[in-house]
A = this chain, B = another copy of it.
């Protein structure tokens, strides 16, 4: 069974890398589909789920900012724990169904016992900012420094989310089988060699 998990710094192109890799390997790639499915199954608002999905419980509740020790109401807390639990189950179900690429959501830690190949995708800040600028939705007009702050914040949230599932530090190379620096690179140029790496890894 080929399970490939992709962890990635925001703006590094990890999501694109996952999609392209899955395409070449001829296997599904699960990403925001996971969120959609949770949203549908649980009747949650999709945007809400998107907001929770890769953030720590605390980060998902901006109303607690400035109230360092304030906790969200028990009911809301319950709900975000349910979302995280549902995500974990869905990831496990996807993995059981067969070969796949899963981007984000700490699938590396959640699926540890299935021995996935864990990739980490990263890039220097310049490259991340550039990629984010190019892909910014129309109307979003962040300055360079705002963009940098957003990138750092999202990476911090990903790191916190990962802590729910593992003691291994998010982004520390020891937790991954291959760490790919995409600075100044076109993702698509790296895909054939990475696909070959995946196949060699799984003994094909």
Chain A residues proximal to chain B, CB less than 8 Å: 120, 122, 124, 171, 173-174, 176-181, 183, 185, 189-190, 192-194, 196-197, 199-201, 203
Find A181's partner among B173, B183, B185, B193 (CB 8 Å cutoff).
Answer: B173
The interface centre, meaning the residue of A177, A179, A185, A201 with most chain B CB atoms within 10 A of its CB, is A179
Shortest distance between the CB of A142 and any CB in chain B (Å): 24
Report chain B residues within 8 Å CB of A196.
192-193, 196
Find A174's partner among B122, B189, B193, B200 (CB 8 Å cutoff).
Answer: B122
A-B contacts, 23 of them at CB < 8 A, read A120-B173, A122-B173, A122-B174, A171-B173, A173-B173, A173-B179, A174-B181, A176-B179, A176-B181, A178-B179, A178-B180, A178-B181, A185-B201, A189-B200, A190-B200, A190-B201, A192-B200, A193-B193, A193-B194, A193-B196, A193-B199, A193-B200, A196-B196
Beyond contacts A190-B201, A192-B196: 11 other A-B pairs, Cβ-Cβ < 8 A, are: A176-B179, A177-B181, A178-B178, A185-B201, A190-B197, A190-B200, A192-B200, A193-B193, A193-B200, A196-B196, A197-B197
| A194 engages B197 (CB within 8 Å) | yes
Shortest distance between the CB of A152 and any CB in chain B (Å): 14
Report chain B residues within 8 Å CB of A183.
177
Report chain B residues within 8 Å CB of A176.
179, 181
Bound: A173/B173 CA distance, A: 7
Report chain B residues within 8 Å CB of A194.
193, 197
Bound: A199/B122 CA distance, A: 20
